[in-house]
Each structure stands twice: as C-alpha cells, then as structure tokens.
A and B are shown apart, each in its own frame.
Chain A
Amino acid sequence: MAAPKVAVVGAGVIGLSTALCISETCPSCSVTVLSDQFSPNTTSDVAAGMLIPHTYPGTPIHVQKQWFKETFTYLFAISHSAEASEAGIHLVSGWQVFKNTPKEELPFWSDVVLGFRTMSKAELQKFPQHQFGQAFMTLKCDCPPYLLWLEKRLKATGVQMYTRRVADLWELHSEYNVVVNCAGIGAHQLVGDKELFPVRGQVLKVHAPWVKNFIRDGDGLTYIYPGIHRVTLGGTREVESWSLSPDPGTTKDIFDRCCSLEPSLRRAQDIKVKVGLRPSRWCVRLQRDVLSQGGVKLPVVHNYGHGAGGFSVHRGTAKEAARLVGECIAALQVSSSRAKL
C-alpha cells in the first residue's frame, strides 16, 4: 500500500494528540485532521486542563493509571523545557479539601503526581468548613496555548488540518484507509453512541493573578485552578444537559462557592463565562471497529468518551489509539498483498 491515509475526526485535545502520536509512530502515514471546530472553540478550550484524573467505572484502574502516568511524564518533560510557556504547560501546587474524610484517602494517582501528602492541621485552618485535605503538585495544560502548540507540531510533521463537518464516518471511506474517531461529544450524533452523554460544565475564567495555588473541593464541584493568564473557577456537573448557553444564576453560585474557599477572589476582575459538555461515558471508548457497506470495509479506531478526564489521560489514550491504527494498517497491508496474489 502506498502511504496509508489516516483521517482523524476531531480537533480537541484528543484528536490533536492522537494525530500527533500517529504521525510519530507511523512516519509513512499521511495524517489529516478533520473537524468542524478548532481551538478556541472546542470543548477542550473550556476545560482548565488540570492533570487530576477522573475515574471511569468501566475501565480497569491499572489501565487508567498507565494512561495518566504516560500523560504526566510526557507533559512533565515539556514543562521544564524552553517550550513550556508556548505549550501552555506549567506545574501548579495546591490542595484538595474534603468536608468529610473520604473513604479512599489515597487515590490511585497519588504516586504519579508530585509530593502527595495529607494536609496538616495548620494548613486546614485556611478551610474551616473542611476537615480533611491532600496537598500535591500537578500539571496544567492551558488552552488555547496547548492546542495551538499541538497544531504547530502537527503542521511541522506535514499533517493537514481542515475545517469540515463530518456527518457520517462512512463519507470518508473513499478518501482514507483508516478513520480515527476523536469526535468527543460529537460521537453521540456521529456514530449514534447512546452510552455517551453530556455532563454540562459551566466555568468562570477570571483575572486574579495573585492566586498561585489550586484549591479543589473533593466533591469535584468547586474548584479554583490558576492558569497562565486566568484563573478557572468551577463548576457544575449537569448530566444530560445539552445547553451551551451560560446561566447567570449558575455564574453567581460558582463565584460564591469559590469565594468561600478563597475569599480574595471577591476582587477578581473581568469575569468570562464558558460552557462545555464533557463527553461522558462509563468507560473511554478506545477500540477498533469496522464499517462496511457493499463489500467495502473501512477500519475505524474510536478514541472518545473521556468525560471529565480528557487532559489527564490524553497522551496515554492517544498512544494506544496510534497503536490500534498501526494494527489496522498492518491488517490492510496483509489483505492488500493477499489481494495481489
């Protein structure tokens, strides 16, 4: 087969990082990214990009840990290189605090992040409503910078990117040998996956440059994540809500909750409100598939459904997806050489 042609559908953090991994592992492949949205209009752009994993009930923990570890290691190296600021990757330390001591005091990722330990009584005094806490250091991927940096890396390796709304994966069968589905919440429509559902998140992005530490309530609903230029305040988790319009009542509620964790936020300026739909699923759909019509087959690799944990595992799942693409190509090469006999 001449240079295999791979289409990656989706240009959020999953689509772009998957395209990059494919071009890294298969240099002979011609990779094209197709998406109706690019940064700054993807779901990823709304997210704070914190490397704090979400737990998928349907994926074995050791797999999730491996994905997280690979992602952390990859970003850690970028964070102390000269490219860190351009890539939007930086280290940030802070606290996760709980109103009630959690059953699981040591999350599965505690030995992947840096310096994980229980908070002292003196540290907890800052959070009078919380009785237990964990302190650690992790990484943050600021978007748009991270996505723009991925786009730049992709262009440098010859990957083409086109704005195109793909209505049906099959429409790509004549132009591409393999299709990779990184459509995120778009997969609900694109492949009719009823197990995929939105979890609506509203966040505020504010100017409060004196906030240097992250603070997260263990319930996952209230968080303060300092980025390069803005601090992300969150949030909400509204299951099955498809609305992308900001809700003013929610804005006030988020702001109040965050100010009760960090009173100095009352002085925050220039509040911008954003909404994203987390592409949630009981497990990440990371698997091969085949579409066929009239004897023609189109190999597909799915890589979507990362919900609240996209950034935390993106590189790990991208590498796995690239490996699956490699398998698809190998299978195509076998069948194409068989066809020649």
Chain B
Amino acid sequence: MRVAIIGAGVIGLSTTLCIHEQYHSLVPSLEMEVYADRYTPHTTSDGAAGLWQPYLSDQGNLQETLWNKETFDHLLRHLGSPAAKEMGLFLISGYNLFTQPVPDPSWKNIVLGFRNLTAKELELFPSYSYGWFNTALMLECRSYLPWLTNRLMQRGVKFFHKKVESFQEVSGDGVDVVINCTGVRAGELQPDPELQPGRGQVIKVLAPWVKHFIITHDIKSGIYNSPYIIPGSEFTVLGGIYQHGNWNEENSAQDHRTIWENCCRLLPALQKAKIVEEWSGLRPARPCVRLERETLRHGHLQAEVIHNYGHGGFGITIHWGCAMAAARLFGSILQEKKLASLPQPRL
C-alpha cells in the first residue's frame, strides 16, 4: 500500500510518523513517500518561534481544544526523555498581557500552573492591567523537523523534492492514499476560499537574559497583531504582525519598525539586543482546521485523500492531535479496503 504525503512542515512530517508508527506492523506492504518543494529550514513551521499556545478562544471548537491537549500531553511525556533536546523541546513559562480583564482560556487546565498575574508583576508592564502566567512548552521546528525526518528515514520513508501541481500527479501513479498537508498553498491543489494567508513577520535577536515569553493582546487588533517576545534556545523571537490576505513573503521595513518599537517598549532591555535574522511567513489561516477524508475520482481511477491543513498560527500547538486524527481516518480507509482488521474508527 502506497501513501503519498504532500507537505513537509510540522503537519506533514508528524502525520507521516503517526501513521507509520500505528500501521506499519499491521500493513507490511505500507510504503510512505513525502513530496514537498520546501523542506526544513525553509518551511512555514521553521519560522515559527515554536511556543505551544492556542488562540485565546476556541470559538466553540471543542475538537481543536482536544487536539491541542493531546499535543501538549504527548510532548510533556517526551520532556524527560533523552530525545528532548534533539527534538527542540523544553519547558518555558511566561506572560499573557491584556488591557482589561478577560475570561480564562480553554487551555488553562492543559498548561501547567496557570494563574492570574499579581499587581506587582503587572508593574513590569505599565500598558497592561491584567494578565496570566503559566508554564508551557517550546518545540523548535528547526530541531523538531530534522528529528522527525530522521525518525522517518530510519523507518524507510522516502522523501522527494518536488512541487506537486495536482493530486492526480501523485494519486495516478499507484498511490492508494494521499495526505494533503500543504498548509497555506492547499488552494493550489484544490480551491478553498476559506483558506487565507495570515502573514507574519518576526525579528530574531540575541537576548539570552530573557527567560519568559511575553504575549500581549489587543482585542481590537486581533490575534498576533500585538507585540510578542518568545525566547528560544538560541535566539529570542520578536513578533506581532498578522495580516489577513497578504501573500507577500518579503520582509517589510514598516513591519520591522512596528515590531522593534513595540517590543522595545515592552522590554526596554531589548534595545541592546543584537538583531540576527528577519523572516516573514504565511500562517495557513482558516475558520477551522480542515481534517477530513475525500474520495477523488479521476476518470476510472479513485484515490482517497486525507486533508490536514489550515492550522493558522497554532500548527505546532495542535499538530500531534491532528496527526492522530488523520491516522484514525487512515485506519478507516484501511478497514474499507479490508487491509487490516481494526477496531471501529472513533467518530
């Protein structure tokens, strides 16, 4: 059985690993192939700071909240393992700041030690009057994607450097299942007006004295359009740009100024930080994640497609839960093809 995965960001690679882990012993003929025109360190995932944190509101999407939790718990279990450093996985604590009181988020019991900020702590941030403190996780894709790639190569998964122009290109070649993890460019394979780029820009600096993440929120500007500071294992990421519908992957001088001024106002010591890199990326924004099966018919050929894209600015946060859901969809395909005897897929 041949499975083609299109896309090698965090979603593509983790979905491949999840499926291989669960089914390779049940389906001895399982062959998995990854197709992508961009690999680490050039994917959207690589540009992200890597902080596990969902959006403030789940907008009633309990399934996504569950996938976020599954991801957090999965990563937490790996924290004590020898692989953690290689994965780019570590604990980090920090602040979410607001200009007015807000309801607690859906993820308050998923993260560790969630609490409100005390008045004394808020003195650090004169423009903000309310906030949270919690311990979460960082998963740096510059390490995680190579780690996933190594695991996959050890399992015999093949990688192809190729821009796939249509599903038929891969499905017509004897591939039984196509897994669509194409992120922001999924519309090129199949039009999806709900999928839009959420352009972001970040400045990477050397500021090793910063040990906490600081995410500010401005209810009026919307998510990620307010400054944030996220310290990584090597660099600290400064950001705060979210432009819906903007496909430009070039860095903007104006956005640079916005990020720099806002972040330095938030943490004056950043003025002394050395700028190392600047990067722009397109979050694959969608009202909800598209995670579903589709049967594509092309002439007399039929291929099963599993879509797994549209994770916006929370791809890393939700990736493992989605990978497992995609694996369950894969299981139901196997059952239909009577290729494996499995328990009923959970709906």
Contacts and interface: CB of A to CB of B under 8 A. Distances in A.
Interface of A: 79-86, 88, 90-94, 114-115, 117, 119-120, 122-123, 126, 135, 137, 142, 209-213, 226, 228-229, 263-264, 266-267
B18 to A, nearest CB: 24
19 contacts: A79-B269, A84-B269, A88-B209, A90-B210, A93-B211, A93-B212, A114-B121, A115-B117, A117-B113, A123-B113, A137-B121, A211-B90, A212-B90, A213-B92, A213-B211, A228-B208, A229-B208, A263-B81, A267-B85
Interface string B55-71: 00000000000000000
A266 B272 contact: no
Nearest to B208: A228
Given A85-B269, A212-B93, A213-B135, A135 B210 contact: no
Given A126-B79, A137-B121, A210-B85, A115 B208 contact: no
Interface in B189-207: 207
A122 B118 CA distance: 22
A80 B135 CA distance: 21
B30 interface: no
A83 B86 CA distance: 34
A174 B196 CA distance: 80
Contact of A210 (B90, B121, B268): B90
Given A209-B208, A264-B84, A266-B82, A80 B124 contact: yes
A86 B268 CA distance: 12
Interface residues of B, number: 38
Contacts, number: 95
A210 B118 CA distance: 27
Contacts of B208: 209, 228-229
B233 interface: yes
Enumerate the 9 nearest inter-chain pairs by beta-carbon distance, A residue then B residue, closest first: A84-B269, A210-B90, A90-B209, A267-B85, A210-B233, A82-B268, A228-B209, A212-B211, A85-B269
B147 to A, nearest CB: 13
B271 A82 contact: yes
Contact of A209 (B86, B112, B120, B233): B233
B80 interface: yes
Contacts of B80: 126, 263-264
B163 interface: no
Contacts of A90: 209-211
Given A85-B209, A91-B212, A115 B133 contact: yes
Given A83-B269, A115-B117, A119-B113, 6 more contacts: A81-B268, A85-B209, A85-B269, A91-B212, A93-B133, A212-B90
B231 interface: yes
B153 interface: no
B91 interface: yes
A114 B115 CA distance: 12
B165 interface: no
B267 A80 contact: yes
Nearest to A120: B113
Contacts of A114: 118, 120-121
A226 B211 contact: yes
Interface string B91-111: 111000000000000000000
Contacts of B288: none
A interface, over-half SS: mixed
A114 B125 CA distance: 14
Contacts of B85: 210, 264, 267
Nearest to B121: A114
Contact of A84 (B133, B233, B234, B268): B268
B91 A212 contact: yes
Nearest to B84: A264
Contacts of A81: 268-269
A117 B207 CA distance: 28
A268 to B, nearest CB: 9
A44 B115 CA distance: 34
B269 A209 contact: no
A229 B210 CA distance: 11
Contacts of A119: 113
Contact of A115 (B115, B234, B272): B115
B275 interface: no
B118 to A, nearest CB: 6
Contacts of B157: none
A85 B112 contact: no
Contacts of B133: 93, 115, 137
B164 interface: no
B82 A263 contact: yes
Given A92-B211, A267-B85, A213 B271 contact: no
A81 B271 CA distance: 10
Given A80-B268, A84-B269, A119-B113, A212 B124 contact: no
B236 to A, nearest CB: 11
A117 B209 contact: no
Contacts of B207: 85
Contacts of B79: 126, 264
B334 interface: no
B91 A123 contact: no
Contact of B135 (A82, A85, A123): A123
- From B85, B117, B209, B269, name the one whose CB has the most chain A CB atoms within 10 angstroms: B209
A79 B115 CA distance: 22
A90 B208 CA distance: 10
Contacts of B92: 212-213
B112 A123 contact: yes
A68 B84 CA distance: 37
A82 B91 CA distance: 27
Nearest to B231: A212
A266 B85 CA distance: 9
A111 B124 CA distance: 17
A85 B274 CA distance: 12
B269 A80 contact: yes
A212 B115 contact: no
Contacts of B90: 210-212, 264
Contacts of B273: 85
